[in-house]
């Protein structure tokens, strides 16, 4: 639980679950279990108290049925194994086929560092042209909020202007939108999953919002592991080529990434003409956030 970095974040919930369950099991083993053993475990022919008689009367038939079923299952399993041992080659062929299907299935499954999960909400990053006024950003954010609320599967939506939670940057041309989806029991169909709703919002916002670039992101698969789903790329100027060259390479990366089916790239955190980006450092960098 105290491991730092991504490993600690990934295993924190699991570690807490195991630790708490172990504590509860220890308390039960040292207190309740011995007392129950003294009450329930008695020699054959011992006089039954009213509680034991009641339990045997109410649940005795279930215990007898369970024991009978368990014995039949053991006998059936033993007979099946005995017959299969006489057909070892056939069993080995079936086992080899299962291994092949396992390898084939792994090759067909989508790859990823951590599987994306539907956590019931989405995030949106809103970016207007550099130096746009805050009032203009608020108007665009209000339009985005209205579109999100009118989308099937969305319960609530709220927008904040002046900063981007996804990139951790602030500016009058930036905004964020939090989209709360309907409860899981109301989103059983495939078109109402978080990924499907996110794709619907991307399509609508791309067509209806011309004043800004709006990117929709899913929730981080592990709480605390980033602000949103996807991955962040840091582009550094290691050769001291200048801010203009860094901007060109960043734009080229986004252009190439957007040509990949299903990918969307987002990079509002760097512009060489913005005063906050003209300060010199050892290795100037630009941030991109990508999502699939």
- CA nearest to 227, candidates 291, 289, 166, 292: 166
Q: Are the C-beta atoms of 152 and 124 separated by less than 8 Å?
A: no
Measured over the CA atoms of residue 41, residue 46, residue 50 and residue 52, the dihedral's sign is positive
- CA nearest to 110, candidates 264, 288, 262: 262
pLDDT above 50 (res 91): yes
Output the average pLDDT for the chain. Answer: 82
Least confident of 92-96, 126-130, 225-229: 225-229
- Other CB atoms within a 10 A radius of the CB of residue 108 amount to 6
CA geometry: angle at 34 spanning 31 and 35, to 5°?
Answer: 80
Here the contacts of 130-137 (C-beta below 8 Å, separation 24 or greater) are 130/173, 130/271, 130/273, 130/274, 131/172, 131/173, 131/274, 132/172, 132/173, 133/172, 134/161, 134/162, 134/172, 136/211, 137/161, 137/162, 137/172, 137/173, 137/174, 137/175, 137/212
Least confident of 6-10, 54-58, 68-72, 190-194: 6-10
26-35, 62-71, 212-221, 271-280, range with greatest mean pLDDT: 62-71
Output the pLDDT for position 171. 83
Reported as a pLDDT band with limits 50, 70 and 90, residue 281 is very low
Reported as a pLDDT band with limits 50, 70 and 90, residue 40 is confident
Output the pLDDT for position 77. 95
Reported as a pLDDT band with limits 50, 70 and 90, residue 280 is very low
Q: Are the C-beta atoms of 183 and 156 separated by less than 8 Å?
A: no
Mean pLDDT of 260-289: 54
pLDDT above 50 (res 249): yes
> Of how many residues is the chain composed?
292
The model's pLDDT over 97-148, given as tens digits with 9 standing for 90+, comes to 999 999 999 888 767 677 777 888 998 888 888 778 899 999 999 999 999 9
Output the pLDDT for position 272. 55
pTM of the model: 0.60
pLDDT above 80 (res 258): no
pLDDT above 50 (res 279): no
Residue 148 tokens, joined:
């999100």
């Amino acid at each position: 639980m105290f491991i730092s970095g991504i490993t600690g974040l990934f295993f924190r919930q699991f570690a807490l679950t195991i630790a708490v369950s172990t504590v509860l099991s220890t308390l039960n083993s040292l207190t309740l279990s011995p007392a129950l053993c003294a009450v329930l475990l008695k020699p054959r022919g011992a006089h039954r108290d009213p509680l034991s008689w009641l339990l045997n009367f109410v649940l005795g038939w279930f215990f007898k049925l369970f024991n009978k079923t368990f014995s039949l299952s053991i006998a059936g399993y033993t007979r099946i194994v005995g017959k299969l041992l006489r057909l070892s080659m056939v069993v080995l062929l079936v086992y080899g086929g299962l291994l092949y299907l396992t390898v084939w299935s792994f090759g067909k499954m989508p790859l990823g560092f951590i599987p994306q999960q539907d956590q019931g909400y989405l995030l949106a990053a809103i970016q207007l042209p550099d130096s746009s006024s805050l009032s203009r950003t608020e108007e665009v954010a209000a339009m985005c909020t209205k579109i999100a609320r009118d989308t099937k599967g969305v319960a609530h939506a709220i927008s904040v202007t002046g900063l981007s939670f996804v990139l951790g940057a602030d500016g009058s041309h930036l905004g964020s939108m939090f989209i709360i989806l309907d409860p899981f029991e109301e989103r059983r169909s495939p078109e109402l999953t978080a990924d499907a709703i996110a794709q619907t919002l991307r399509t609508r916002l791309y067509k209806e919002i011309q004043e800004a670039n709006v990117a929709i992101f899913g929730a981080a698969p592990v709480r605390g592991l980033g602000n949103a789903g996807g991955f962040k790329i840091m582009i550094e100027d290691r050769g001291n080529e200048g801010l203009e060259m860094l901007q060109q390479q960043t734009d080229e990366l986004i252009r190439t990434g957007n040509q990949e089916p299903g990918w969307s790239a987002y990079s509002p955190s760097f512009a060489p003409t913005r005063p906050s980006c003209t300060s010199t450092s050892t290795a100037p960098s630009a941030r991109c956030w990508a999502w699939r």
